[in-house]
Every structure is written in C-alpha cells, then in structure tokens.
Amino acid sequence: MGDTQRAPGSRLPRALRPFRHREYRLLATSLALSLLASGVWLVAIVWQVIGLGGGPATLSLVSAAASVGLLVSVLAGGVVADRVPRRRVLRSVEAVRVAATGLAATLSLTGLLAVWHLVVLAFVVGAAEAFYFPSLTALLPAVLPADELLAANGVEQTLRPAATQAFGPALAGLVVGALVPGAGLLTACLAYCAALVPLLALRIGATRAGPDDGRGTVLADLREGFRYLLRTGWLFASLSFAMLYALVVVGPVQVLVPFAVRDQTGGGPGAYAFVLAAYGAGGVAGSLLVASRRMPRRYLTVMLTMWGFGALPLAALGVADVLAVMAAAAFVVGLTNAGAGVVWGTLLQRRVPEHLLGRVSSLDFFVSLALMPVSMALAGPAGVAIGIPATFLVAAVVPAVLAIVAIVAFRLPRDETTHPLDA
C-alpha cells in the first residue's frame, strides 16, 4: 500500500516533490512571504531615509545597524535553534519582525519617525534574521525525507533572489512611488504578518535532540559546535574554503563590477543592472538544475569544483568590453555558485547530527558574513593598486586553487565514498 501511495508523487518532477508534504508547503509559503517582506523593507527603508532628508552617510548608518544586528546575533541564533523547538523560533522571529516594521510604519505615517528610530529598528530586524535561517535549515529534515532535501534547498535558493531582489523591491517601488515611504513600511509589516500565518498552522513536534539539551550554558553549546567543526574534516575544509572564497570574490563583485561596466563598455546604471540580473538569473537556473537531480555521488568534489572553477569567468569581467560577454560571465558565476549552495545546504542537513545542526548552520552563516566587509574594504584599494583586470583575475583563479587544495589535503573523495548520500 505504501508503494501505491507514493506512486503519484514519484511522477512529479524531482524539484516539486517536497510540495507533496503539507508541513513543507506551509514552510515554503511562509518563507516566500517572509523573503518578499524583506525585499519590500530593504527598499522602503531607503526611501524613508531619503524622505527624512538623509544622505549616503545616514543610509550607511541604518544599513550598518542591520548588519551589526545580524553579525552579533548569528551564533546565538544557532544555539537557540538547538535548544528551543524550531517552530517556536520561526514564529517568534516573524512576530518580532511584525512588531518592528509595524512600529516603523506607525511612526512614519504619524510624522513621528526619526533617523535614530530607523537605526534601532534596523538592528532589531537584522538580529531577527540571525535566528531565522539556522532554525529553518535545522527544521527541514524533520519535515521531509532525506532524498527530498536537495529539492527543498533548491526551492529556497530560487526564492531568495526572486522574492528579495526582484518581486519585493518591485512591489516596494510601486507602493512608495504611488503613496509615501510609510506605506512601503506598512506593506512590509503586512507581508510579515502573512508569513506568520502558515507557521501558526504547522504541526511539528519539538525537534531538540541532544540528551543534555537545555541543561548546558550557551558558551558550552558554542564550544561543542566549534569542537565538532574542528574535528570534522569535510566540514572544516568546506567552511575554510567558503571563508577564503568570500574574502577574494565578494568584494570585487560588489565594489568593482560597476566601474568595470562603466570603464570597459561605457554603460551606466542600466548596463550594471543588466549584469546583476544575469547573475540572478544564473542563480535561479543553477538552483533549479541541481534541485531537479539526485544528490551527486561525489558531492564534496562536485560542490567545491562548482564553487572554485565556477569563479573562473570572473576574469572576463575585468577585460571584456562587450556587455553581453560580461553578462554571460556573471550568469555562469551565478549558476555555479547557487548550484553549489544547494548541495551545501543539503549536505549539512544530511551529515551533521540533528542536535548540532542549528549551531553548525549559524557557523556557516557567520563565516559567510564575517569577511564580507573586509573583502569589500580591500577590493577598492586593490583595484587602484593593481588594476581592475588583475583584481578580477585573482578573484577568478584563487578559488580554483583553494578548491583543489581542500579536495586533496582533506582527502574528500575518500570521505564522500565512505559516506554516500546518493542512495
């Protein structure tokens, strides 16, 4: 009878099979609405700063507050995800976002909003973000069978750029353009409210797994997570690679691409947006491509190869004088980066012990964030000192070298053969 029940679902495309499960449908709906709300908030808050008479320095202050809130809270977010039922964490995060954005909208629409309010509320929203994704990542294995986690991670990787970078900002632009910035903040609040509703309908029991769960100190929990990281070769190799990848790649992409577009093609903001759109489209394509297939047998090798050698087209961004070539390079980088990210998220959920998954996910989040500001601070001076073409060449070649070193030094092919995930 079990085979008969599974047969209709087995005919679905692999990327859609997680949607057979009610709890996953609720989670995915909530995630999509939450990401949409974040996209609206990010744009509405920019125009709210401008509406208050603020300039670039003021906007930087508000943006920095959100980043600081995220960074200082992310490790605590992992500990909470492993101590508290994750469903409760997700509900609490959305409730905090509703309160923060609702307060911002109320103050704005009543004419009482000041810049310092936005700084404080941006910090709160950023801190809430730090608790959201570790709990979401750790909750998925309790909702889906192991062989559908890859598809679920592909859905998440697809939703992020679509909702946060496309539909959310577009909605915010329409609302703010037709009304006032406060209406955009109110729209974000309403979207966060909508994201909370499916979470209230979730029927998942507590997912804490450790025998000492809730009895140790927060510092002890953090130490346990770090110990697991340091003694687990594949995890240490992957996170070390990710940290160095962020250092050499993020800054050039974020800081130097606008100047490369301007200087090499003569393009303006529209041309720059075209390159960014190509990168986002590549990310969507890569996520869907990987999500529609089985977990690779050589998953560690495939993942690091996609990240490392997928950065090679960055070299074209430093020398191409045709916009279409730059866009094609950005598309490939986006495709391989997102595809590897889908494998990585699934790998964490499949191989990290359940009671450590929240902390390891937060460590992953922390590593991704920690060196981004350093990379962006170094990219500009590097572009001046050695030139934009040379800087992009370094960003293109170094990840490939790092991938080879990680695969060989940590004997990852032997590890993935010993721990197959393609069954």
Print the domain residue range for 378.
220-418
Residues 94 and 236 in one domain: no
Question: Is 213 within a domain?
Answer: no
For residues 353 and 355, what is the distance between their CA atoms, to the nearest angstrom?
6
Residues 283 and 357 reside in one and the same domain: yes
Same domain, 175 and 263: no
Give the closest residue to 78 by CA, choosing from 223, 272, 244. 223
How much is the pLDDT for 302?
95
Please say which residue of 186, 208, 230 terminates a domain.
Answer: 208
Q: How many CB atoms lie within 10 A of CB 349?
A: 24
- Angle at alpha carbon of residue 120, lines to 361 and 136, rounded to 5°: 20
Domain match, 180 and 287 both: no
What local confidence, expressed as pLDDT, does residue 56 receive?
Answer: 67
Residue 342 inside a domain? The answer is yes
- Supply the pLDDT for residue 99: 96
Q: Of 284, 134, 290, nearest to 207 (Cα)?
A: 134
Both 139 and 235 in a single domain? Answer: no
Same-domain status, 189 and 250: no
Length of the chain: 423
First to last CA, the chain: 22
In Å, what is the CA distance from 235 to each residue of 2, 139, 351, 412? 36, 20, 10, 10
Residues 295, 14: contact at Cβ < 8 Å? no
Domain match, 91 and 201 both: yes
Burial class for 382, CB neighbours closer than 10 Å (0-12, 13-18, 19+): buried
Domain tally, the chain: 2
Q: Note whether 116 and 249 are same-domain residues.
A: no
Residue 347 lies in a domain: yes
Supply the pLDDT for residue 5: 43
Q: How far apart are CA 260 and CA 283, in angstroms?
A: 21
Does 286 reside within a domain? Answer: yes
Specify whether 143 is located in the same domain as 237.
no
Domain boundary at 180, 208, 236, which? 208
Residue 141 lies in a domain: yes
Q: Is residue 423 part of a domain?
A: no
C-alpha torsion 153→155→160→165, nearest 10: 150
- Please give the C-alpha separations between residue 204 and each of 22, 140, 149, 400, in angstroms, as whole numbers: 11, 11, 17, 42
Q: Of the candidates 157, 174, 208, which is a domain's last residue?
A: 208
Low-confidence ranges of the chain (pLDDT < 50): 1-8, 206, 209-214
**What is the C-alpha to C-alpha distance for residues 9 and 7, in angstroms, rounded to an integer?**
5
Distance CA 340, CA 312 (A): 15
Distance in angstroms (rounded) separating the CA atoms of residues 27 and 139: 10
CATH number of the domain encompassing residue 32: 1.20.1250.20
Contact at 8 Å (CB) between 244 and 311?
Answer: no
Predicted pLDDT of residue 402: 96
Domain match, 188 and 301 both: no
**Is 69 domain-assigned?**
yes
Secondary structure (H, E, C), the chain: CHHHHHHHHHCCCHHHHHHHCHHHHHHHHHHHHHHHHHHHHHHHHHHHHHHCCCCHHHHHHHHHHHHHHHHHHHHHHHHHHHHCCHHHHHHHHHHHHHHHHHHHHHHHHCCCCCHHHHHHHHHHHHHHHHHHHHHHHHHHHHHCCHHHHHHHHHHHHHHHHHHHHHHHHHHHHHHHHHCCHHHHHHHHHHHHHHHHHHHHCCCCCCCCCCCCCCCCCHHHHHHHHHHHHHHCHHHHHHHHHHHHHHHHHHHHHHHHHHHHHHHHHCCCHHHHHHHHHHHHHHHHHHHHHHHCCCCCCCHHHHHHHHHHHCCCCHHHHCCCCCHHHHHHHHHHHHHHHHHHHHHHHHHHHHHCCHHHHHHHHHHHHHHHHHCHHHHHHHHHHHHHHHCHHHHHHHHHHHHHHHHHHHHHHCCHHHHHHHCCCCC
| Cβ atoms < 10 Å from Cβ of 386 | 12
215 in a structural domain: no
User: 236 and 150, same structural domain?
Assistant: no
Looking at the structure, do residues 132 and 235 belong to the same domain, yes or no? no
User: Tokens 């943006």 label which residue?
Assistant: 63
